[in-house]
Amino acid sequence: MLDYVYQCLAIIAFTLAFYYTSGFVYNKPAPGKTVFAYFSAIYFGFIALADSHSLAVRLIISSIIAINVINASMLLRNLRWKGV
């Protein structure tokens, strides 16, 4: 069971990142939580890639990591500080 811990944590982090991303569609953005979810998903995704999986699972995890990197870079680039 411990063999799948990091894969499960990666899946949970991916799901949480997509959940917070959907908040922007429904006018309930939470940029801080979203950035944290993106980076935790990227972190756990890379840890899950270190395990021995089939090629298909590695491609899926790699593509979701790439999506999260792109989303995080777009979000961080478009954040605006609240004016004083």
Instruction: Spell out the domain ranges in the chain.
Output: 2-78
pLDDT of residue 82: 66
Mean pLDDT of 11-33: 93
Banded model confidence at residue 12, pLDDT cuts 50, 70, 90: very high
DSSP per-residue letters across 17-76: HHHHHHTTTTT---HHHHHHHHHHHHHHHHHHHHS---HHHHHHHHHHHHHHHHHHHHHH
Name which CATH class applies to 2-78: mainly alpha
> What confidence tens digit (pLDDT) does each residue in 27-76 have?
998 889 999 999 999 999 999 998 888 899 999 999 999 999 999 999 99
Instruction: Answer yes or no: are the C-beta atoms of 3 and 51 closer than 8 Å.
Output: yes
DSSP character at residue 80: -
pLDDT of residue 11: 94
